[in-house]
Chains A and B, each alone.
Chain A
């Protein structure tokens, strides 16, 4: 019985910290929670006060929680190994695949490979039945949309139809144009590269049915109403163009958000403009400085208000929540506890991954 929460947003939005705080909030409500970070940097471990996180869930000491909290950091290579071992027809088939020179490079470096492995990890965690809630911290915007495409993308690569003419020359009818491109690629890359790739994809073909089955289940899970999407944004982040371009792409993918969490939102000033103006003309340089600071704050708060309005214009009537600026304090578990108090009530139906 597992729910999935995905946090989305552009770089620097505070996704990792917010994901950790959601994990803390859910564990304090009595849930068994695991937080998955696929950010290549080790920030979640930092925020959780752990030196390093591994590819397997690691318990976070939360004494006051009724439930429990684990965290892990995705290790692409280890997850790829687990997936291949599980999907291969025999241990020997898995060994041969892992020994191919491209295996290492594909598991570590294939563009979009991180997103694919994250969906595989998500599959494993949901499948285990050990968790009530899986919180996934997605990579920054450019890649976060890849996350939803990952299952389909994996299938495309496994189908090899795209590379068929290159890797299996002489099979089937191919046009003159394709022949010319194939010969160009052979000259660019050299014969050895093509031969190694052909062997790799042929071995990968042996495990593809298993991999496709996983990726379809993850696709179903991601598009079911048991998965909630949270947009995390940061009122201080200067690149709003990126944020709105990202939201447009989410819309194209048919993803609807459950909530908007805005970090470091500046509330409207509690002092009057006249008070501010008076200070700026004071004799005391400290008061003049405070006046200057207050005017600066007012214009920033105004900017934040406009940002929130624009978000609602683009996203419609989605609840938005302001999270306080705890910049410096959210470097440890206590900071996460404080932040978790500000999160919206996260409740939703439970869901079981079909076999």
Chain B
């Protein structure tokens, strides 16, 4: 079954590899295939809305593009939803959930923010209320690798410590949902560089050990080739020797630039091969092209959305 045919996709990867960029691009690509998509940010940073030129995050869904909404899930808002839905606390005032005692409680119970946010996501998918939008697919801009694994495990851990009660029931439901490969897929974002790829391979291994699995890898910032395929280091040197109007210094520094460019491209290809060999067999790897500047607004994501239209 296709990755975007599932109900939930968790995007993970190390810091700085472009998880948020990939989240947005995948959402736009899924909408092109007719899906109704929600992009969800868990952190307090408003990274997704800023990249889309939409200011700060909001708990209420906002329209990004046809078929694509954006939400930022604050823990206390999610907890208030949980109270209303599960315990029928319809008339509890908002300030109850924003009191310092409530904040202290949420901070003091480890893993609770994760489970409450995941509970909200599961509700959005499986039982939207009449006044809420229904989505085919929710894409979560997950925390960095290491912490990402914690997100997947947090439900099980919460069930272990709570043992009984509403949080226990919630945690069990989420654990089932997250570990069901027909419902949930996890994609890792990485870069065509040595350390990020090593880390992705470690993540793949660690996830399999924990009984989870990766469903694909997005290789972000794939370098654009500026030189024709006939350009080898020797051919570059010969062309520059034959060129007119170049100073000796200029020619030398341009030669270094072009040679490094070729080496950089070779290294990217090699590291991609290492990734393909090391991953569980048959796992799709999608190359996302390097953008010339930081994306701002939906249009800027087009080249990535095009690349993702091939995602299996």
Any B CB within 8 A of the CB of A40: yes
Query: Which stretch in B43-51, B131-139, B210-218 binds the other chain?
Result: B43-51
Q: Assess whether B164 is in contact with A190, with CB atoms less than 8 Å apart.
A: yes
Q: Assess whether A188 is in contact with B87, with CB atoms less than 8 Å apart.
A: yes
Rounded to whole angstroms, the CA-CA distance of A286 and B293 in the bound complex is: 25
Interface readout for A59-84 with B: 1 if CB under 8 Å, 0 if not? Answer: 00000000000000000000000000
Q: What is the minimal beta-carbon distance from A174 to any residue of chain B, in angstroms?
A: 10
Interface readout for B54-89 with A: 1 if CB under 8 Å, 0 if not? Answer: 000000000000000000000000010011000101
Rounded to whole angstroms, the CA-CA distance of A332 and B103 in the bound complex is: 44
Any A CB within 8 A of the CB of B34: no
Any A CB within 8 A of the CB of B111: yes
Interface residues on A, range: 35 or more
In the complex, residue of chain B having the shortest beta-carbon distance to the beta carbon of A267:
B253
A173 proximity list for chain B (CB < 8 A): none
- Please judge, given known A-B contacts A192-B163, A290-B254, whether A17 and B195 are in contact too, CB under 8 Å: yes
B21 proximity list for chain A (CB < 8 A): 238
Rounded to whole angstroms, the CA-CA distance of A332 and B260 in the bound complex is: 20
Q: Assess whether B87 is in contact with A105, with CB atoms less than 8 Å apart.
A: no
Q: Assess whether A109 is in contact with B150, with CB atoms less than 8 Å apart.
A: yes
Q: Assess whether B45 is in contact with A242, with CB atoms less than 8 Å apart.
A: yes
For B167, give its contact among A193, A240, A287 (CB under 8 Å): A193
Any A CB within 8 A of the CB of B230: yes
Interface readout for A140-167 with B: 1 if CB under 8 Å, 0 if not? Answer: 1010000000000000010000110110
Rounded to whole angstroms, the CA-CA distance of A190 and B169 in the bound complex is: 11
In the complex, residue of chain B having the shortest beta-carbon distance to the beta carbon of A289:
B227
Interface residues on B, range: 35 or more
A11-58 with Cβ < 8 A to chain B: 11-13, 17, 39-43, 46-47
Rounded to whole angstroms, the CA-CA distance of A165 and B108 in the bound complex is: 14
User: Can you list 26 A-B contacts with CB-CB less than 8 angstroms, sorted by A residue number?
Assistant: A11-B15, A12-B17, A41-B14, A41-B199, A46-B199, A113-B110, A163-B105, A178-B99, A181-B99, A182-B101, A185-B101, A188-B166, A189-B105, A239-B294, A240-B294, A270-B253, A271-B246, A271-B247, A275-B247, A278-B245, A284-B239, A284-B242, A286-B228, A287-B239, A287-B243, A294-B254
Using a CB–CB cutoff of 8 Å, the interface residues on chain B facing chain A are 14-18, 21, 43-45, 47, 50, 79, 82-83, 87, 89, 92, 96, 99-102, 104-105, 107-111, 113, 144-147, 150, 154, 157-158, 160-168, 193-195, 198-199, 202, 226-228, 230-231, 235-236, 239-240, 242-247, 249-254, 257-258, 261, 267, 291-295
Using a CB–CB cutoff of 8 Å, the interface residues on chain A facing chain B are 10-13, 17, 39-43, 46-47, 101-102, 104-106, 108-111, 113, 140, 142, 157, 162-163, 165-166, 177-178, 180-182, 184-185, 187-193, 196-197, 201, 234, 237-242, 269-272, 274-275, 278-279, 282, 284-287, 289-290, 292-294, 296-297, 327-328, 331
